[in-house]
Structure 1
């Protein structure tokens, strides 16, 4: 291969809400989007979304899926929890030259660019990451049952729990709790919904909570403050110190900024780019290493 900046590469960034695929043509980026691709919660579904996306991307650039599958590819997916599932994924995908990671390195690279700093990535799920003096560290990302604090699905669950506590008289009701009771036809409807809901279903409630909190709703603000507290405790554990850049990423992450301690708010900075761009950078790194 020639210098990786001029080598065509593929990148895939997938999570609980969507999967995005991109081709670096050597001149520009062409991308497509498919559905949810978390290979821990739905391995076969995630594989199908990737294969479908390769076909859509091939059609978009007027090539065969086989031609794109021959390119160096970086895959960063939610749910890649270790070597065993990574190898299973490697066997299931059509790529000839493939590097597989979870979705965290791509998000970290995309957000920070060349800077040192930390991220709190809060999408459907959540995790925390840092890059300091070239070393990456991560925490969280353990899924909806055992972790994903401050994620969209965590916010949705917390809002439903708070609403039921308001029904019990353990918390004061608010506009948020009344809205949720109306939406689900009372407490029994909330319980029915929660019994079959997946993380994406819970996460769909998060925009209501963030909007209510921004308007001053007490329960909404309490939920957001609890999530921000988790972020504030997690970032120092992976190396954050005052003065170091913080990026709040994912669909929900930026909404936590007003609830963070003042020292952290002072360090919040806009992301350089999105996770898909980070995945493309990692794909170029992979191509460069393969060329050597």
Structure 2
């Protein structure tokens, strides 16, 4: 019998990754074992029309074919693509990818997911609970398996409170306060800022013109953590406030008792938590205070593992995570009846009442 495979894809700011795994029931033994992974360091472009599907396809199709060839051939039973910006900028992908992937790779079952959803699937699988994904930005996702709840993830100008860019900006503000002689400044953060960026008076010129400002700001977050660990009270207060923001977002999306049973888990995933104790100690205290009885834990896997799990669940008819027109869209390829209960060809579902909660108050 010809081998049948599933393909998981993770597209983000650092590039695109694709993994091939044997199709199987993800409920048995967790995420399917991957037989191969390929990656590109070139991020998929975003233009005026949103995420550019042609650029994604130009990278993904050769990767998928190479993975299939290295595995001895066979066909794809399903694919799942998780992409940063899918919820707000993924209209072109949702319109163009189903037919293009059906033609190029013979994909008959496809899931198009926001990266927060693949992060959730990688961290908790298909269990109810809460996942906080924090790196440069910050978003919290929760589900009772009947609907999604989202908090923050609104970008560095309007939200992402407690994320890396937020921490870095707050640390640089404290540095400039010390430079000016204003209250709330930190000499330690000023010294660190000048070591990283140069003279404090030149900082605006080094930050404002950058098109990658969120990443530039986030690059200072480790310095804030280092100063906090060394005993600087201002840096410690920045991280304590970041922990409060993150815990507020987790609390906002935690399904209440009675909606599928109160989850006992909140997973923390993303590079921000590599800052270590200066952030995680106050964060665990905040989570314990706001969500008593909910156990913080490390994620089972990363967003790419989550994409593989979604593809396998789709291939075997065991997908339990809630479908949604922009967060977890299951399109109907041309010529096939929709397998999405309660959905039309545009992906509309009964889940249109997603809770969007901005925690930056």
Normalization by structure 1: what TM-score?
A: 0.81
Counterpart mapping for 1:1-292 below 5 A: 7-26=4-23, 28-35=34-41, 36-37=43-44, 39=46, 43=50, 48=55, 51-56=58-63, 58-59=65-66, 62=69, 72-82=78-88, 85-91=89-95, 93=97, 94-96=100-102, 97=107, 98-132=110-144, 135-170=147-182, 171-197=184-210, 198=212, 199-239=214-254, 244-253=264-273, 255=276, 256-260=279-283, 262=285, 264-265=287-288, 267-289=295-317
Alpha-carbon distance between aligned partners in 1 of 2:14 and 2:139, rounded to the nearest angstrom: 15
Alpha-carbon distance between aligned partners in 1 of 2:149 and 2:54, rounded to the nearest angstrom: 27
Deviation at 1:61, TM superposition (A): 5.3
**Other structure's SS at 2:101 match:** coil
Identify if the C-alpha distance between structure 1 residues 278 and 208 changes in structure 2 by more than 3 Å, giving closer, same or farther: same
Alpha-carbon distance between aligned partners in 1 of 2:112 and 2:67, rounded to the nearest angstrom: 24
Identify if the C-alpha distance between structure 1 residues 61 and 285 changes in structure 2 by more than 3 Å, giving closer, same or farther: closer
Identify if the C-alpha distance between structure 1 residues 208 and 119 changes in structure 2 by more than 3 Å, giving closer, same or farther: same
> Are the equivalent residues in 2 in contact too, given 1:10–1:22 (CA < 8 A)?
yes
Alpha-carbon distance between aligned partners in 2 of 1:223 and 1:212, rounded to the nearest angstrom: 11
Identify if the C-alpha distance between structure 1 residues 131 and 201 changes in structure 2 by more than 3 Å, giving closer, same or farther: same
> Are the equivalent residues in 2 in contact too, given 1:213–1:221 (CA < 8 A)?
yes
**Other structure's SS at 1:32 match:** strand
Normalization by structure 2: what TM-score?
A: 0.67
Greater C-alpha Rg: 2
The number of equivalent residue pairs is 283
Alpha-carbon distance between aligned partners in 2 of 1:188 and 1:42, rounded to the nearest angstrom: 38
Residues 27-72 of structure 1 deviation map (CA, whole Å, 9 limit, x = unaligned): 6332223334584899567863663254345445546xxx98x763
Identify if the C-alpha distance between structure 1 residues 57 and 189 changes in structure 2 by more than 3 Å, giving closer, same or farther: farther
**Other structure's SS at 1:118 match:** strand
RMSD: 3.4
> Are the equivalent residues in 2 in contact too, given 1:127–1:138 (CA < 8 A)?
yes
Higher helix share: 1
Identify if the C-alpha distance between structure 1 residues 175 and 125 changes in structure 2 by more than 3 Å, giving closer, same or farther: same
Alpha-carbon distance between aligned partners in 1 of 2:195 and 2:271, rounded to the nearest angstrom: 25
Structure 2 residues without counterparts, runs of 5 or longer: 24-32, 257-261, 289-293, 318-331, 340-361
More displaced 10-residue stretch of structure 1: 191-200 or 86-95: 86-95
More displaced 10-residue stretch of structure 1: 35-44 or 235-244: 35-44
> Are the equivalent residues in 2 in contact too, given 1:7–1:287 (CA < 8 A)?
no
Residues 182-225 of structure 1 deviation map (CA, whole Å, 9 limit, x = unaligned): 32221232111211231223222222323332333333212211
Identify if the C-alpha distance between structure 1 residues 172 and 141 changes in structure 2 by more than 3 Å, giving closer, same or farther: closer
